[in-house]
Amino acid sequence: MELNFPIVQVLNEEGTIVQPEYRERITKPLTMTMYRHLIRTRTFDRKCVSLQRQGRIGTYVPYEGQEACQVGSALALRDGDWMFPTYRDHGAMMTFGRSLTTTLLYWKGRTEGCVPPEGKKIVPPSVPIATQLPQAAGAACAEKWKGTNNAVIVYFGDGATSEGDFHEGLNFASVFNAPVVFFNQNNQYAISVPITRQMKTKTIAQKALAYDIPGLRIDGNDVFAVYFHTAEALERARNGGGPTLIEAVTWRYGAHTTSDDPSRYRDQEESQKRRETTDPIKRVERFMQREGWWDEEWANQVQAEVDAEIEQAVAEMERYPKADASDMFDFVFAQPTWTIAEQKEAYLQWKRGMAR
């Protein structure tokens, strides 16, 4: 089955274009834009890990190594499209227009962190696994039935394919020919569970066969492959071609979250090797050098601008007061149920006891 779903590349690890049909579309301005977003998302991710270690934000979910998946797919969207992210897709959300300050507020536990920018359809990140897939299928159906030209992208990891919501979402979208792209970031591990323990199938893309929809397997560390093939799937969706399942094969360098120790369940030397061979940023740098587009002064300027933007966002985030844990109970229903009221009272009693 792997032969039927080969990993598709546009830009290989050495920085060489391997699909000539895309060559003319890979311009210097597009490449520079992608590079800036890749640097921005990686620098932000590293800053957040540092902030968490200092106790300035809560438990954080890093994505370093998966930047091409998130940047490439988000850049393929139009303004009117929907984005249904997971808790690991803040790189995609920031690329699509969510501010860095809002993103930081989310990780500080404040409700403002769930509010999308004006005019953007970015749903708050889904922490329960795979619940966003049926929701995305429903939003796509709504756009179709309203007669718009908007499409939907929904993100999920390899572990989500073991949930019923995954199959329900794909089945619903298939039956109603919904304009949605199911974008899987296969980073090989669902927390500590390797993909070989998650499923017997050799690929995730082949699961599309059960729903009679296109399935595609791409190199998730190739920002051009992600961008062009996601854009093609979205365009097919807009034109009545229905849903697509994309499996972007990638690698998470670090921990599942900042409360996780990946060295307990995998050899971290593999991550170090991949940093030198398949890294999405180094791949673009090699390509720019081959094309004669690389400018060290420009790259340093990009890094300096990104650093300044992030530091400003951190300063803005820290001007907000600490999150109020009561928000967890007060904003579930318009009128809290008796069960939630009891939970809140139990929490407040515990809090008063801790204060003594």
Residue 290 backbone zone (phi > 0: left; psi -120 to 50: alpha; other: beta): alpha
Residue 28 maps to a domain = yes
Residue 2 has pLDDT above 80, yes or no: no
Model confidence at 355: pLDDT above 80: no
Same domain (yes/no): 36, 157: yes
Residue 331 lies in a domain: yes
Min mean pLDDT across 115-129, 199-213, 264-278 is at 264-278
**What does the pLDDT look like over 180-200, one tens digit per residue?**
999 999 999 998 999 999 899
pLDDT at 305: 98
Same domain, 340 and 271: no
Residues 172, 265 within the same domain = yes
Instruction: Specify whether 204 is located in the same domain as 338.
Output: no
Q: Is residue 153 part of a domain?
A: yes
- Verify that 302 and 273 share a domain, yes or no: yes
Res 293: pLDDT: 98
Co-location of 268 and 288 in the same domain: yes
In a domain, 1, yes or no: no
Which tens digits make up the pLDDT trace of 53-87?
999 999 999 999 999 999 999 999 999 999 999 99
What tens digit of pLDDT does each residue of 161-177 get? 999 999 999 999 999 99
Q: Domain check: are 89 and 217 in the same one?
A: yes
Domain assignment of residue 2, yes or no: no
User: What is the reported pLDDT for 238?
Assistant: 97
The CATH number that applies at residue 51 is: 3.40.50.970
Whether residues 248 and 118 share a domain: the answer is: yes
Please tell me the total count of domains within the chain: 2
pLDDT number for residue 273? 92
The per-residue pLDDT for 311 is 98
pLDDT for the residue numbered 352: 87
* Residue 9 covered by a domain: no
Residues 338 and 220 in one domain: no
Residue 175 belongs to some domain of the structure: yes
Residue 95 has a pLDDT of: 98
Same domain for 355 and 209, yes or no, is no
Amino acid identity of residue 33, one-letter, is T
Angle between helices 223-238 and 280-291 (to 10 degrees): 100
> What average pLDDT does this structure show over 315-323?
96
- Residue 23's pLDDT is 95
Query: pTM of the entire structure?
Result: 0.95
Say what the pLDDT of residue 303 is: 98
pLDDT at res. 91: 98
Query: Does a structural domain hold residue 109?
Result: yes
Residue 325 has pLDDT above 90, yes or no: no
- pLDDT tens sequence across 105-121: 999 999 999 999 999 99
Domain identity same for 226 and 332:
no
Per-residue confidence at 268, pLDDT binned at 50, 70, 90?
confident
Range of the domain at 353: 324-356
User: Catalytic site residues?
Assistant: 252, 256, 265
3-state secondary structure the chain: CCCCCCCECCECCCCCECCHHHHHHCCHHHHHHHHHHHHHHHHHHHHHHHHHHCCCCCCCCCCCCCHHHHHHHHHCCCCCCEEECECCCHHHHHHCCCCHHHHHHHHCCCHHHHCCCCCCEECCCECCCCCHHHHHHHHHHHHHHHCCCCCEEEEEEHHHHHCHHHHHHHHHHHHCCCCEEEEEEECCEECCEEHHHHCCCCCCHHHHHHHCCCEEEEECCCHHHHHHHHHHHHHHHHCCCCCEEEEEECCCCCCCCCCCCHHHCCCCHHHHHHHHHCCHHHHHHHHHHHHCCCCHHHHHHHHHHHHHHHHHHHHHHHCCCCCCCCHHHHCCCCCCCHHHHHHHHHHHHHHHHHHC
pLDDT tens-digit readout, 78-114: 999 999 999 999 999 999 999 999 999 999 999 999 9
Same domain, 277 and 352: no
